[in-house]
Amino acid sequence: MAVMKNSPWQLILIKLSIKKKQKLRFILDSLSANNHRQALELGTSQGALGYFFRQKGGFWIHADEDWPNLVEAKNLLKINLVQLKGSQLPFQSESFDLVISPDYLEHLDNDQLCLEEMARILKPGGQAIIVTPHRGPGNFLYQLRSWLGLRPEFYGHKRDGYNFLELTSQLQKAGLKPEDHKIISRLFSESLELILNFIYIHIFGYRPKIALRNGHIRPMNQSEFKKVRPFHRIYSWLYPFFWLAAQLDNLISFSPGYLLIVWARKK
């Protein structure tokens, strides 16, 4: 994942996000290069993940509910951006070979309808890749997040997340058959993400001013990124040490993870 020093702010930010890089690596490794696919990114945020998805080839559409997100994503992705409204998807039935939904379901009131819409717009045999927070026994960092004053509205979440059995049941009801799954971002990786969220909200004082689908726990535009750039430079110097600490997750692979990725296919 090559990111140059003078890259757009979204790519500079993702370069130093251990959690996002983990997520991106697993998704990209599962995708073959294919210039003929019709693909949808559902929940593009500010476009950083979509930038890398495009490098796998094909015709991509990037959709999000928040207009401010799309404005920032347009600066990076330029074209094929669509604004959504709720769980219904404004696309023709059986029009996509691939739908990737990175951290979208947990922000919706009607998540089941969204899964049914994904199935509707996928071609027979088409693939859906769903990324959500993972919820399960031992995920005590969700409780710690509340104790630290990181309220749900900061994340834009309607629910903490899903366990694999819950999401499997919902996918099957929608007509999507799970084929594989991964649970990643364990204790050390997730703790680092939590610390960064805490600093952004409580130290820099970036409380949500407008309601955004995916909350407001990190810089959401270039202006905000410039304001925290001095802290970001310090963090970039320390990043190798944080990265090494995150590798300790490999020693506790039995511990609960906080991010669930499911690969499913239309029946």
The matching CATH number, chosen from 3.20.20.140, 3.30.2320.30, 3.40.50.150, 3.40.50.300, for 9-266 is 3.40.50.150
pLDDT confidence of residue 182? 95
Contact (CB, 8 A) for 91 and 33? no
What mean pLDDT is predicted for residues 129-140? 88
Q: Tens digit of pLDDT for each residue in 77-128?
A: 999 999 998 889 999 999 999 999 999 999 999 999 999 999 999 999 999 9
Whether the per-residue pLDDT at 208 is higher than 80: the answer is no
Q: Tens digit of pLDDT for each residue in 1-43?
A: 555 557 899 999 898 899 999 999 999 999 999 999 999 999 9
Place 56 in a pLDDT band, splitting at 50, 70 and 90: very high
Q: Where are the chain's structural domains?
A: 9-266
- Count of alpha carbons within 13 angstroms of residue 85, beta-carbon side: 1
- Residue predicted with more confidence, 188 or 211: 188
Place 227 in a pLDDT band, splitting at 50, 70 and 90: confident
Whether the per-residue pLDDT at 142 is higher than 90: the answer is no
Q: How far is CA 13 from CA 32, 43, 66, 115, 160, in A?
A: 26, 18, 20, 29, 24
Distance CA 242, CA 216 (A): 23
